[in-house]
Structure 1
Amino acid sequence: MVTLVLVPLAAVTIVGMILLWPAAAPRDTAGDAGTRVRATVVSIDGRGAFAQVGETAVAFAPPQGVTLRTGDKIVLDSVKDPATGVAVYTYRDHQRSTPMIWLLALAVAVVLVFGRWHGLASLAGLALSFAVLVWFVIPAILDGSPPLLIAVVGSAAIMLGALYLTHGVNVHTSVAVAGTLASLVVTGLLGAAFTASMHLSGISSDDTLYLSTTRATIDLRGLLLAGIVIGALGVLDDVTVTQAVTVAELAAARPRSRRELYRSAIRIGRAHVGSAVNTIVLAYAGTSLPLLLLVAVSPQPLTELLTSEFLAQEILRAAVGTIGLVASVPITTALAALVAGYDPAERPVNVPRGPSSGGH
């Protein structure tokens, strides 16, 4: 089973990455005019805001809607006034590197303390996923390659690397990989079908509008589908691995026929799906909370809002992701039962008949 799944899928994924590997994408430097400098706020009051840049105190335009206090570490944009030649400073952002480093270190420590070697393997899988996204998926999309195809190839690379690295090269992981791949196909096909039928353009925010004007080669509808596929992968691998291991443990505790294994494991899967569906919907709701607030105060009729482009995209993501998640349970359970169970005509010696097989 390991060879049957791993070798062909790995070969296709490697060939796909080689063929689609991006050229160096030029960076957009339209908004990079001026110089960014690190500074420390020394005073801010009704007269204005002042910060220390090196040995010099400079005045800067205070931000709207951002609270600054004396001692805050900030980043300023410095642009020379063409008329006077004097540098004009404006607030850009806070310096966050130190607290972010501490937060990431704490997260790594928690994973390692609790997970030990499994935790270390999961962190390695996370690093691999991040590397695929940063060095392949994003540059390839910027290079003009079809986003959905890039997402499928990138997801396959992430799935193979992260799952086998985290859970080991064994039958259970291979079943989870096969189940995840099948569920991603379902998710991608549904996403493509309903994106077309709902006439979605992929433009729903300032970010996508900016991309449409500065990167005309990017297929924004494909980008929407790519986001759905990659987002679904993060939930699917958890469900498929759990189902594959569940079937294996049930078979190890008492050998059963494939049908008996499927029936027992699918009951556990239904309970898992119930919580996972709630998780995925709440995750979408959490990331879209500002959008939901705008909906709540909008004077437009609810029916118009729900069918608008920006809300329709969020509904599509949640609905298609949920369907793919639900589909992954019977698919993975059936594959795992096929591998771990036995044919009723080949019942092993000394295996008692369970209640579902007609024993007394």
Structure 2
Amino acid sequence: MSRTHATEPVDLVLPSRLRRGLTVGVLLVIAAAILGIVSTWPGTVPVGSPAQAQGDLVHGVVVSAHDRSCPGQFAEDRLPDGTMPTTVECPEAVVQTDDGTRQTVIVPPATFHGGLGAGDRVVLTHYPADVAGQDTWVFSDVDRRLPLAVTVGVFVLLTVLVARRRGVVALLGLGLGAVAIGGYVLPALLTRQDAVVVGLSATTAVMAVVAYLTHGFSTRTTVAFLGTVAGLLLTAAAAVLAVGAARLTGLDDETAAGVTALTGAVDLRGVVLAGALVAALGLLNDVTITQAAAVWELRAADPGAGFARLFGAGMRIGRDHLASTVYTVAFAYAGAALPTLMFLRLYPQPFGGVIGSTAVAEEIVRTAVGGAVLALTVPLTTALAAALVLRSRPHPDAPLAVAD
């Protein structure tokens, strides 16, 4: 007599008392996150209003673009040795604006050499006539709305086609994260709320919604959620220590001066702290979900395995995942920091000076903190999953996964 082969992992359920305890624990964590959001909800966010008249953004199409030279006279024209060159590049572009006028503007050399030419859409800034009656037109940027829309559209389409329902849910989670950052995290930081509370509250709340929405209500999801929360707490503690010791601000000197002038905030370390928590969320979610699922699969494959065997096998999987994740994160940060590294390469400094620079030090701290927390989160999540799966029993209605 043949028995049904299960195509999905056997549905395991916990004893009622333990299940209720886990539910209460998860609800307490979510309640703490909600309380943190409420207590740090931002008030009125300051908005810059320069004394000079604000320029109007005007879109248009490049009619022609050509290179030319002009005398060096500005600070950014200076050479690395401090001397002012006699001439510098001052490319020009003739732009037909959408409102029917034709303007000639100076274009940044990097933009010109990046391939700017006839037919490209650009954005100009129009400053109304001054006291002398003269309008001013300034090149603002390339109009990237269409290529960005196409790129995002392809990403969304492929995600939905390949991952189907889970892809849709993942995209919803991505949107939720964007709303949380734009609607809560940034305003809260700009109004000088506690960065650790803001970061922990936002990431925990987002994780709660995304995890259960994507993976369903199950013990495996709960293990991943609790493992992620533990990782976020470790990340907060490690980031506070590392950022404080390294005196990191999260902003370069020019940006820091602007934010300080608008908000009155002198200590901007919260930018790095909250950023470390937001960055850690995706990494931790990936690792904890994988570890919980791995232990459940190992239990289904070997129902007689004890804690030591499940934990050991889960850790063998976790070590490979951890190793690949750490260097993936390091390369991702290095890729994002390439422009900064290139700039530092043009101004030779001792190795210690380069490593200690603000931009490089922040990437090192983020990578080191993320790697250290992942190294702790993998065994924590694996141990919790192994302990709970051993207390679980097959659901009465689950199909039997045995061979003929």
TM-score, with structure 2 as normaliser: 0.80
204-213 or 67-76: bigger deviation: 204-213
SS in 1 for 2:93: strand
Measure how far apart 1:139 and its partner are.
1.1
Aligned to 1:130: 178
The answer as to whether partners of 2:122 and 2:141 remain within 8 angstroms in 1 is yes
Of residues 142-151 and 43-52 in structure 1, the stretch that sits farther from structure 2 once superposed is 43-52
Q: Secondary structure at the match of 2:109?
A: coil
Deviation at 1:229, TM superposition (A): 1.3
Instruction: Report the counterpart of residue 51 of structure 1 in structure 2.
Output: 95
Equivalence map 1:1-360=2 (5 Å): 1=19, 2-30=22-50, 33-45=54-66, 48-53=92-97, 54-67=99-112, 68-204=116-252, 206-217=254-265, 219-255=267-303, 256-342=305-391
Identity fraction in percent: 33
By relative contact order (CA 8 Å, sep 6+), the higher-ranking structure is 2
Deviation at 1:32, TM superposition (A): 7.0
Partner in structure 2 of residue 353 of structure 1: none
Structure 1's unaligned 5+ residue stretches are 347-360
SS in 2 for 1:326: helix
Aligned-residue RMSD, C-alpha? 2.2
> Do the aligned partners of residues 265 and 75 (structure 1) sit closer, same or farther apart at CA in structure 2, a change above 3 Å counting?
same
The answer (yes or no) to whether the contact 1:144–1:217 under 8 Å persists in 2 is: yes
Unaligned stretches of 5+ residues in structure 2: 1-18, 69-91, 394-404
How far apart, in 2, do the equivalents of 1:55 and 1:81 lie? Answer: 18
Kept in 2: contact 1:146–1:219 (CA 8 A)? no
Shift of 1:342: 4.7
Partner-residue secondary structure (3-state), 1:59: strand
Change (3 A) 1:178 1:273: same
Report the Cα distance in structure 1 between the residues aligned to 2:297 and 2:185, rounded to whole angstroms.
36
Task: State the alpha-carbon separation in 2 of the partners of residues 199 and 172 from structure 1.
Answer: 39
Alpha-carbon deviation of 1:313? 2.2
Tell me, yes or no, if the aligned pair for 1:147 and 1:219 is still in contact at 8 Å.
Answer: no
Count of residue pairs brought into register by the alignment: 344
Worse-matched range after superposition: 310-319 or 203-212 = 203-212
CA deviations 1:242-297 (Å, max 9, x no partner) are: 00011111112222222221111111101111111111111111111122223434
Q: 1:336 to 1:306 in 2, by over 3 A?
A: same
**In 2, distance between residues paired with 1:279 and 1:140?**
30
**What one-letter code is carried by the residue in structure 2 that aligns with 1:6?**
V
The more displaced of 100-109 and 13-22 is: 13-22
**Is 2:259–2:265's contact at 8 Å kept on the other side of the alignment?**
no
**3-state DSSP class of the match of 1:65?**
helix
Distance in 1 (CA, whole Å) between partners of 2:66 and 2:254 is: 33
